Amino acid sequence: MEILHLAVGPLQVNCYVLGCTETAQALVVDPGEDAADILTLLKSKGWSLKQIVSTHGHFDHVGGNRALVEQTGASLAMHRADLPLAQGADQHAGKYGLRAEASPVPDRFLEDGDQIQVGSIELEVIHTPGHSPGGICLYDKSGHLFVGDTLFADSVGRTDLPGGSHSQLVQSIRTRLMDLPGETIVYPGHGPETTVAREKAHNPFVGQGT
């Protein structure tokens, strides 16, 4: 698996493009905007987009879903609990003076423990509600964890938006993510990469000292 990164949209969301080097098939995590840039990257690698996954339904993470689905025919997946957020992305963005395309209805609703496979890429779905009701993380057992806005380096996702719960978010992180191998690389929805071990030791919200 090759992992590529783009910061997309006005809120600079981390969009991850995962390519299977054996089959030239690809998966995109959180195409929040800038679908043209994502397509250009895919073309430069010679990859065919097969799957789009939204870690949650907030507008800055789903704004490119419609364009990518329409232009590639890729399958779209997310947790059912965040469908209202994803379909109301245009209205939510408007409250901040921004624009975003509402997401189309997913082809697949993901549940905790589901497996996603594209070529030789295999990801396990971990349901981590708190930032939003349907927030999920994607875990690759070779040591990669895509967490959306659940967890950041030295911080956690905001919980003051509709459907958010700080206590639920902290519980999700502590019980579902902090027990993963410490060397697991964490790829958040905003900001720099980190590791499970680093957050366990230093994150003031979910670390060992809290």
Contacts of 169 (CB under 8 A, 6+ apart): 128, 129, 130, 131, 150, 156, 157, 159
% residues pLDDT > 70 (the chain): 99
Q: Give the architecture (CATH level 2) of 2-202.
A: 4-Layer Sandwich (3.60)
**Does residue 210 have a pLDDT over 70?**
no
Tell me the pairing of strands 108-110 and 75-79.
parallel
Q: What per-residue confidence (pLDDT) applies to 57?
A: 96
Amino acid letter, 12: Q
Mapping DSSP to helix (H, G, I), strand (E, B) and coil, where does residue 196 land? helix
Q: What per-residue confidence (pLDDT) applies to 6?
A: 97
Contacts of 65 (CB under 8 A, 6+ apart): 31, 52, 54, 76, 86, 101, 103, 104
User: Each residue of 104-154: pLDDT tens digit?
Assistant: 999 999 999 999 999 999 999 999 999 999 999 999 999 999 999 999 999
% residues pLDDT > 90 (the chain): 94
User: Each residue of 45-60: pLDDT tens digit?
Assistant: 999 999 999 999 999 9
Q: What per-residue confidence (pLDDT) applies to 168?
A: 96
Amino acid letter, 166: H
Contacts of 187 (CB under 8 A, 6+ apart): 3, 5, 14, 16, 144, 145, 146, 147, 193
User: Each residue of 124-136: pLDDT tens digit?
Assistant: 999 999 999 999 9
Task: Report the chain's mean pLDDT, rounded to a whole number.
Answer: 96
Calpha distance 184→12 (Å, rounded): 23
**Does residue 8 have a pLDDT over 80?**
yes
